[in-house]
Amino acid sequence: MAEHIADVVISTFGGIVPNELIVFLISMLPIVELRGGMFAAKLFEIGYLKAFLICYAGNMLPVPFILLFIRRVFRFLKNKKIFSEIVKKLEDKTYLRSEKALRWKGLGLLLFVAIPIPGTGGWTGSLIAALLEMRIRVSFPVIAFGVFIADLIMGGLIYGILGSIV
């Protein structure tokens, strides 16, 4: 899924904006996050260290905004008939994931963000932290470190083990 979304973004913006910006934007997207960004960076033949930094920055940019504002956005959207059911489903799904992720408090959140599989990452980790009203001074560093670990894992996979395939 992440690779498909990355392919769509690349085909849409390729040649129009710099490749590094495309990688940064892909890394910012929910669901795709740095998994797709790292994949795109490899396709663009961007070096590992540069790709690592771009993907990390792109994935982390939305985190403070989610932590600070998502509860207000959800409250606003719940009052709109067209969005109320969508927000309710998203909250329910997040709460289900949060039970597993936060069983061990900060360590659970860290592992949830760090393991780069679909449905995990900086976006969902931030959403969990915000909806459970975790303190930002606690949740932000945990999420930042989790994204760092996920970036290391994806970089190792895409530039190492899978490097010859991608």
Q: What is the pLDDT of residues 51-91, one digit of tens each?
A: 999 999 999 999 999 999 988 888 888 888 888 888 888 77
Question: What would you measure as the largest C-alpha separation in the chain, in angstroms?
Answer: 50
User: Can you give the C-alpha Rg of the chain in angstroms?
Assistant: 16
- pLDDT of the residue at 154: 94
pTM for the whole structure: 0.84
- pLDDT of the residue at 147: 97
Q: Mutual orientation of helices 62-78 and 81-101 as an angle, nearest 10°?
A: 130
Residue 74: CB partners within 8 Å, gap ≥ 6?
A: 87, 90, 91, 131
- pLDDT of the residue at 12: 82
Is residue 47 helix, strand or coil? coil
- pLDDT of the residue at 124: 87
- pLDDT of the residue at 77: 84
- Per-residue pLDDT in tens (0 to 9) along the chain, 166 residues: 656 776 777 778 777 899 999 999 999 998 899 999 999 999 899 999 999 999 999 999 999 999 999 888 888 888 888 888 888 887 777 777 666 666 667 788 899 899 988 878 999 899 889 888 888 999 999 999 999 999 999 999 999 876 666 5
- pLDDT of the residue at 11: 79
Quick one: how far is CA 99 from the chain centroid?
A: 19
Domain layout of the chain by residue ranges: 2-59+154-161, 62-151
Q: Measure CA of the first residue to CA of the last residue in the chain; give whole Å.
A: 15
Question: Could you tell me if 140 and 153 are in contact, meaning their C-beta atoms sit under 8 angstroms apart?
Answer: no
Identity (one letter) of the amino acid at 3? E
- pLDDT of the residue at 162: 66
- pLDDT of the residue at 90: 79
Instruction: Spell 28-62 as b/e; 16+ CB within 10 A means b.
Output: bbeebbbbbbbbbbbbeebebeebbebbbbbbbeb
- pLDDT of the residue at 166: 53
- pLDDT of the residue at 8: 76
